Chains A and B, each alone.
Chain A
Amino acid sequence: MADAPVHLIIDGRQVEVPRGTLVIEAAKQAGIEVPIFCYHPKLKPVGACRMCLVDIQKMPRLQTACTTPVAEGMIVHTRNDRARAAQKGVIELLLVNHPLDCPICDKGGECPLQDNTFKFGLGNSRFGEPKRKLAKALPLSDRVVLDRERCIMCYRCVRFQDEIAGDQALAAIDRAGMTQIGVLEGETFDSPFSGNTIDLCPVGALLSRQYRFRARPWDLERMPSVCVGCAVGCNVELHAREQALQRMIPRENMAVNNEWLCDFGRFETLPLGIERVRQPLVHGAPVSWQEALQAAADLVSSAGWKPARGQDGHATSIEIVASPSLTNEALNALRRLAADLQAPLGVWPARTGRVRGSIDDLVASRTIILLDFDVWTELPVLALRIREALARGGQLFFAGSGANGLRRDTAASYASADVLAHALGSPAGPISILGRGADELAQRVEATGMVGEPATAANGYAMADLPEARFAPATLLLAGNENWPDLTGKKLVSLRWSPHPSPLPGGEGIVLPLTHPYEQSGSVTNLEGRVQQLRAGGGIAGEARPDWQALADLARALGLSPVEEERQAALA
């Protein structure tokens, strides 16, 4: 039975909240803003910055709203003279050693320290002493740079790495006024989640080396989209300046990524500083779309039209290969094309799969079993969601000899699924099992959570029914930006958005330029089967076309009807 709710009065407003709620959250519910720096709803409260001091009746000292739980009949003043004076005092003290170099700071314009100073600060300073000086722009890693002068010691970054990522990559060094954020001797800030500390930093202390000095927040156009780094499908916001993508930050979606994003997704999937295919190519020579489509149609026709048939009735002279990161719309176009040409359709790399159960089910699990599945590397943010389950009292077990990035959090490891099943007997439910052989084990232990071998590529769920491509026929239609295997001697039609990293031996074939997934609309299906929408966050490079559009154009050049085109155009 749930506890009776607690009633309190904040700034004269009646508030009803569940027992155990913090005053800061109760105030938020009542629409009252209490200024904060160290407090973050996703991190354990520490009461360090003292920004949220409020006056609670019957308590002699001011209390931090972020650490004080509500009590029945409590009367809280967040804006009376006492509270305001204390809040002004904290802002004044935070600023004494802050360099106030907002004009050259990336955070300027989206900086809680600026905002709180305007809303809750003094407006002037009584500080006339020399400020603390430290070397600026200290690289913590290849991705993150630290300005210790700007740091206000909220410890959000340290707490994130400790509580959420679990790798304790950052620490506070030295003490008193010289306390600094840093990495301990002999350690490096190589956490796969380091980028989140940039989002969490309430000042311009932790900054992205990729984004530094590239834009001002007020010049950015923001578009909600989905990360295509892996099959988790983290919800993101794409930020572009003058049509050029600049950065990507996570959006909260409790059913998917909470509010986290891994570094691979954040930094590596953005098309920044990457060579692009801007124009159709035929044997290396730039041509118009019309010419390229005609050449492609000729090639496909000669191979696939009235072709030789194998036993399954499929063409033996052509194969269509889909990247598992293509949109559902492109996939549909490919399926249609394959049916019309009666050509085999395969996927490569086969980072596909299906699970039953949702990410919610996984987070609610009491027992999670990884069957030789390195979720930390393959689906990084899913590893954080597993850590959430563990924080709620769940237990993690691992079977196999492969890598296990969650080793620190693993209750026990076993040589094989058999040994594990024997040792665990009937573990506490709900149970989730990920990896090869999950379904068999699930039957033995009656697992009702997330079960199966998940897809790892962005749209691998939608392609779980496709066979792995064999690359056997002489003519190949390659759709997607993959690093294809050696295709010496093949005739190729390749649809991609960046040049193949090594020149394809048959690469003097036909190349149709695609937009990057962050420059087009479309949908992808994440590992739990959730269909999520991509939106164009940046301008299109050259003459590139969205994957589904390019495939429709190709179908039309072949004299086929691109049934999906109109619906897709409407979607765009």
Chain B
Amino acid sequence: MTAPAREVRYQPILLKYQGRTEPVGLDEYGGYTAWRKAQDMTPGQVVEEVKNSNLKGRGGAAFPTGMKWGFVPKVEGPKYLTVNADESEPGTFKDREIMETCPHMLIEGSLIACYAFGSKTAFIYIRGEYEVAADRLEAAIAEARQAGLLGDYQVLVFRGAGAYICGEETALLESLEGRRPMPRSRPPFPAVEGLYRRPTVINNVETLANVPHIINNGAEWFKGVDPKIFCLSGHVNRPGNYERPLGSLTIRQLIDECGGGVLDGRQVKAVLPAGASAPMLTADKLDTKLDYDSIREAGSMLGSASFIVLSDAVCMVRAAARMVEFFRNESCGKCTPCREGTMWLYSILTRLEQGQGSETDLDLLLSLSDEISGKVLCALGDFSVSPVVSTVNQFRDEYLAHVREGRCPFGSWALG
């Protein structure tokens, strides 16, 4: 069975320069035509255009970008754009490729965003491990400034120190201010009181990379394309970033056509659509279309669109344990349920995986997940129970096999 072939091969927009080993320079990029065009519009018109494009935040929450800009109060004094380039969700590596191949696209998008809501300063908060991307951004900013494109705007690169929590926008702001990254209580929302207690917009890299194309080609054009980068990893033959219009293909097509099928010719057991953070989808959901609504209806979230494919060689108990271990390590330590709960969940899961668990542990896992989910300040705690709840519910038999056999039926540490 084959999927209907697309008539014209899709030309990537965000990853136009995919595969380059050197970043695209200012001349080849095209000299910030959208930035020039935007400055001939009123800020209100720019916001309207982006609103009309229906661009949704690509960091995971899919909040309408134009609306976010529109929330910024029209007050005197400084306002800030903060670019979330902390890209730390497991299996997510799309922003990195944008920044490494075409840093100017992000810088141009950032300038347009600044103009739209009245900021003169953009901070690009980039994860510390992205040294190449950070260097290339800094070089590109210097190049743009040299060319007189920045005017009185400032674009600054700030390197993080490697904490997952810094992807959470208020923790990111704390870190940017020089403090320990712990999420803030909302309200006040960052749009009103964010960085240095000033109105602040926080946008993802991929979100902003779309903005120059919207300004250049118009909202109507964008609605017809709606480009999205899908990060494909795990048990596939060709992992990598694949840019396609939202809703133009299914999970199965992403795995087979883009990823060259499952590794070692095995079957898919589950797919994680948003790194470790969203509930996993079982093999019967592979024909789900890749757009926000379809994935939600299938019982998960598109999130950052980081597809991690797990083949049938994977022990789901071990997989759940490994993912919870990640959250246990990355919890900032502020909220009780996340800090203590992830430790406890991990203890139970490792015990189960080693064949030392009991059936009542499964109820305990679900009950504990309920004590964490929805009781915490930020999404990390909510995310941390996703792998637990979805594996206990969808792969209960595997858990019970561990209990029954007193060992891991897959052989311990099957995932790595």
Contacts and interface: CB of A to CB of B under 8 A. Distances in A.
A176 B329 contact: yes
B348 A176 contact: no
B180 A153 contact: no
Contacts of A61: 374
B351 to A, nearest CB: 8
Contact of B185 (A51, A67, A97): A67
A541 interface: no
A129 interface: yes
A153 B343 contact: no
A177 B328 contact: yes
A46 interface: yes
A50 B337 contact: yes
B172 to A, nearest CB: 15
Interface in B335-389: 335-337, 339-344, 347-348, 351, 364, 367, 370-371, 374-377
B156 interface: no
Nearest to A98: B340
A175 B332 CA distance: 5
Given A45-B185, A89-B337, A90-B337, A177 B342 contact: yes
Size bracket of the A interface: 35 or more
Nearest to B186: A67
B143 interface: no
A126 interface: yes
A94 interface: yes
The CB with the most chain B CB atoms within 10 A, among A62, A94, A177, is that of: A177
Main secondary structure of the interface of A (DSSP, over half): loop
B258 interface: no
A129 B344 contact: yes
Contact of B336 (A45, A46, A51): A51
Contacts of A69: 187
A108 interface: no
B364 A126 contact: yes
Contact of A96 (B182, B344, B376): B344
A359 interface: no
Contact of A153 (B333, B341, B374): B333
Given A50-B337, A67-B185, A92 B371 contact: yes
Nearest to A171: B180
A53 B377 CA distance: 11
B332 to A, nearest CB: 6
A171 B182 CA distance: 13
Interface of B: 163, 165, 180, 182, 185, 187, 328-337, 339-344, 347-348, 351, 364, 367, 370-371, 374-377
Interface of A: 45-51, 53, 61-62, 64, 67, 69, 86, 89-90, 92-94, 96-97, 126-127, 129-130, 132, 152-153, 155, 171-172, 174-179
13 contacts: A46-B185, A47-B185, A47-B377, A62-B375, A67-B185, A89-B337, A89-B370, A90-B371, A129-B347, A129-B351, A175-B333, A176-B332, A176-B343
| Top 6 A-B residue pairs of the complex, sorted by shortest distance between their CB atoms | A179-B333, A89-B371, A129-B347, A176-B331, A93-B340, A177-B343
